[in-house]
Chains A and B, each alone.
Chain A
């Protein structure tokens, strides 16, 4: 596993923790900053991943599309106020794929997201794993790729805030 050492593991863990807090603290404007300039982000399900079906609930192949997601949530889309609490497991290093650039290690990180609605209803909204590839050239690791794989195919009501 090229580029993976204790220092990298610590930095990636730190980036994950900051990513989760950014969304949970409603600081979505900073969310695209966790991604590299050239990046890919999608939210899909374990079923679709297993069957090789490419479409996602969210599918973005540019950082611009991530910025647009945030502006749409802020300016256009209508939904009842709610927040998330992400609980993340420890990033597990994974083998690189043959198309990966050198020094962009992959990790898999399990997550659990509790959704807290305006009226106080808390429920497990999603569980799954982040399949990530990290660009390490800058001071902090950036996501070159994040595939959010939800364990369940069901989404309750809507998916507004990103996972």
Chain B
């Protein structure tokens, strides 16, 4: 598919997003080719999930099923989960430990490193049948992925032209990944899948949209749980595709140590009449020893690393059709956690996921847009909050990181080579 010329015109600048981009099958196919099979790093799994020899996970690079495994040499391998013979899935389970993989269809076998090692009846039976002399198993290995591991996150790409992961993410973004995951041993404490009734990009926009947070998510506001003195901001990578939104306790605004301590003790003011019966939900600890209580980080095209107080999770966003998205949540603790800290994580998991006090709305709001824009392919969304650019900002009342996504998207899709803003 080369024909971005067959697509309607994209409005100038970054402040309008035409609704057809959430509705078209040809766009979906182009995204699969250019974003998910193209020169970009997509999140596959955690290194902790493939720690020992032969341990594997199945995952997806967009639509494409893949296997990530720990080889006998201790290295990580990833290859298409598709038999070289007739295309059947090689591994059917989500995860496990294997000495080799055998396709159930005709028992072709693969090493855990993804090499074709056996073809049933290759030499025929009693001199009859079998593969021709010219057949070489080494010419029929499943396609391998390039892999990059960053602080325990495994990213993959089919494209050999993909940048080095450090350059791809840049120092600011990888520094923020390191802040949450660096030097620690993540432990999976739960996995959940949420099916969203909307195009995947609507969820990506949502995660990058710092403007909606205090408006759509009323949990903190209703129970007056917002800390009094917070500072924060957003970071948008130079290419626009990656972002961080964060907030932190602003100690400079609290010169009085006494008052500081009393706020810390109370945590809650209640003037609205609503208060939590059990405020222990928010009795957390400093996640990594600093003052940052919230950090939402996304990488292009479709990955989120979240720290919301002490709820740490990764979210893999998988398109499942034009109007359907699979969101895979992996909730994390760390091997270093004390039992009390682990308990805090289990409590604060109530904030996130399909039933999350501050994220359940994100499960439905994309669907409201998908349904709302039906019949409006010729109309466009408006992204003018906080200006027209896609740059870092100390204000979170901005759509800069959403504009950043579209800037990176247009470039990666080849729909606009230079985006001037």
Contacts and interface: CB of A to CB of B under 8 A. Distances in A.
A158 B189 contact: no
Given A77-B357, A153-B191, A61 B347 contact: yes
Contact of B195 (A43, A59, A156): A156
A76 B363 CA distance: 15
B193 A157 contact: no
A62 interface: yes
Interface residues of B, number: 40
Contact of B355 (A54, A63, A156, A160): A160
B91 to A, nearest CB: 16
A144 B216 CA distance: 34
A124 interface: no
B38 to A, nearest CB: 28
A55 B196 contact: no
B181 interface: no
Chain A: interface residue count, which band? 35 or more
Contact of A48 (B190, B195, B280, B364): B190
A91 B189 CA distance: 29
A61 B281 CA distance: 10
A80 B364 contact: yes
Contact of A72 (B195, B219, B331): B219
A23 to B, nearest CB: 14
B354 A59 contact: no
Given A67-B277, A76-B222, A78-B218, A56 B190 contact: yes
A92 interface: no
A53 B190 contact: yes
Given A53-B191, A56-B349, A160-B360, A68 B354 contact: no
Contacts of B345: 55
A59 B347 contact: yes
Contact of A155 (B192, B218, B346, B350): B192
A52 to B, nearest CB: 10
A56 B192 CA distance: 9
> Ordered nearest first, which 7 A-B pairs have the shortest CB separation?
A64-B278, A55-B190, A64-B277, A158-B363, A76-B222, A159-B355, A155-B354
Interface of A: 43-45, 47-48, 53-65, 67-68, 71-72, 75-80, 153-160
Given A64-B278, A71-B274, 5 more contacts: A43-B355, A56-B190, A59-B347, A157-B196, A158-B355
26 contacts: A48-B192, A53-B188, A53-B190, A54-B190, A54-B342, A55-B331, A55-B346, A56-B346, A59-B350, A65-B347, A67-B277, A68-B277, A68-B278, A71-B277, A72-B219, A72-B222, A72-B223, A76-B223, A77-B360, A153-B192, A155-B192, A157-B194, A157-B367, A158-B194, A159-B360, A160-B360
